[in-house]
Amino acid sequence: MQAVTPTQNLNSSIIRPSKPRLNQLTRFAVRCVYRSDSVQFPNGVGSSRADWQSSCAILSSKVFSQDQDSGDKSNPPSASDHLAAAVNGHKTSIDLNLVPINKNKKLQPPSQPPPQKPLTITDLSPAPMHGSQMRVAYQGVPGAYSEAAAGKAYPNCEAIPCDQFEVAFQAVELWIADRAVLPVENSLGGSIHRNYDLLLRHRLHIVGEVQLPVHHCLLALPGVKKEYLTRVISHPQALSQCEHTITKLGLNVTREAVDDTAGAAEYIATNNLRDTAAIASARAAELYGLQILADGIQDDLGNVTRFVMLARDPIIPRTDRPFKTSIVFAHDKGTSVLFKVLSAFAFRNISLTKIESRPHRNRPIRLVDDANVGTAKHFEYMFYVDFEASMAEVRAQNALAEVQEFTSFLRVLGSYPMDMTPWCPSRGV
């Protein structure tokens, strides 16, 4: 499977596989489903948009002519029927002859209509734009934890690997993918700040979340022993999550960061590095032919990463199941209004599950002049908040209306179903 590659190069100090595995976004863009030259429509209506428009015009003219000819059967077929294949300069690709209605036949009483199918969560969510199979973009290569999160969120989906998180966003924005899976926090490593900045920079909506137990393994080429290792490579988050365990194993190794965990395993296999080990999943060992030197090397067995799913359009919030809403806000007067904002949720008994502050990129420093003291410099912050309520609830709407009075900037990142699956340590991810 080919993957998507960013338009810019990564830092040269980061180790990268020598085997090219990803292509440029522009190669995918030319295959966008919204091409006007060769769009395929369902039921064989036509091979292009012009054919489809022509078919609609022909069908409308035939309905009109049939209604006129039903009262006078002596009239021969009109010339417009023979010229129907040349409307707008395009020929139709299907037979548009209508089935004649016998008006002399007695009307039969209508049969009992079939019972309507009840709406499901699929009916309320944006449908995939590439057929029945969902296309989900994730950062990394096959075997990454993000790929496992995509499979948990959308079973039987087509996973699209991307070199960077930025490319996963672009894949959805350019209609290359229907969804993107993005890790935002880990129970050991904390928040992934880079991805919070991307949520604000792009206009995608959070439509779901997945909490994935992370099970790290120490991988190396077959036949390599731990005593021969001189370095361990992996994603920075994985290295921090296994720091104490690596020390307990008595390994005298250097730790180097790469793009992702599975990419580290691929790099070792591609370059036949017998002095290097990778921290990755058991699936990565299977995919790239590596052996597992140590299993479950994360410092805490309760190692869980939270992923969010992103889409171009938001889903319809509901009240029949637990929902979570994510917002981001800022204020011109700094952090002095934070208490008022939090009170808007506390007075309505709305529980906050997360609050994260990030420096305001456009205005990082705020100057406060005091005639007696001088000029004080304060950092400006953006605040990310998750709370347990659906935007369909009146209390959530009233809370945000009050928050908007105290803030200069407020944006709802998404209102989406909470992941309520029971947690259990994963042995095969």
Using DSSP's 3-state secondary structure scheme, residue 345 falls into helix
Rounded CA-CA distance 71/92 in Å is 28
pLDDT band for position 329 (cuts 50, 70, 90):
very high
**Confidence check: pLDDT of 352 > 50:** yes
Q: Which of 261, 305, 325, 407 is catalytic?
A: 305
The secondary structure of residue 143, as a DSSP letter, is T
CB atoms under 10 Å from CB of 190, counted, come to 11
* Topology of domain 217-302, CATH: D-Maltodextrin-Binding Protein; domain 2 (3.40.190)
pLDDT band for position 188 (cuts 50, 70, 90):
confident
**Confidence check: pLDDT of 413 > 80:** yes
pLDDT of residue 252: 87
Q: What is the mean pLDDT of the chain?
A: 76
Q: Which of 307, 323, 383, 387 is catalytic?
A: 307
Which percentage of the chain shows pLDDT scores above 90? 48
Q: Which homologous superfamily is 49-53+133-213+305-417 in?
A: Periplasmic binding protein-like II (3.40.190.10)
Domain ranges across the chain = 49-53+133-213+305-417, 217-302
**Confidence check: pLDDT of 364 > 60:** no
pLDDT of residue 343: 93
pLDDT of residue 301: 83
**Confidence check: pLDDT of 274 > 80:** yes
**Confidence check: pLDDT of 292 > 80:** yes
pLDDT of residue 300: 86
Q: Which residue has the higher pLDDT, 59 or 207?
A: 207
305 is catalytic: yes
pLDDT of residue 90: 43
122 is catalytic: no
The dihedral of CA 127, 131, 134, 136: what is its sign?
negative
pLDDT of residue 79: 46
**Confidence check: pLDDT of 407 > 80:** yes
- The predicted model gives 407-427 an average pLDDT of 82
Rounded CA-CA distance 35/40 in Å is 10
pLDDT of residue 363: 57
**Total length of the chain:** 429
Rounded CA-CA distance 355/194 in Å is 16
pLDDT of residue 379: 64
Among 169-178, 241-250, 285-294, the minimum mean pLDDT is found in 241-250
Across the chain, how many H-helices and E-strands are there? Answer: 13, 19
pLDDT band for position 335 (cuts 50, 70, 90):
low
Residue 69 exposed, middle or buried by CB count within 10 Å (0-12, 13-18, 19+): middle
- Matching fold, domains 49-53+133-213+305-417 and 217-302: yes
Q: At what angle do helices 165-173 and 193-201 cross, to 10 degrees?
A: 20
Encoded amino acid at 319, one letter: T
Using DSSP's 3-state secondary structure scheme, residue 356 falls into strand
- The predicted model gives 372-399 an average pLDDT of 82
pLDDT band for position 25 (cuts 50, 70, 90):
very low
pLDDT of residue 75: 52
pLDDT of residue 83: 42
- The predicted model gives 137-154 an average pLDDT of 94
pLDDT digit string, tens, across residues 306-326:
999 999 999 999 999 999 999
- Rg (alpha carbons) of the chain, rounded to whole number: 29
Which pair of structure tokens corresponds to residue 86?
């040349």
Element (H, E) at 365: strand 365-370
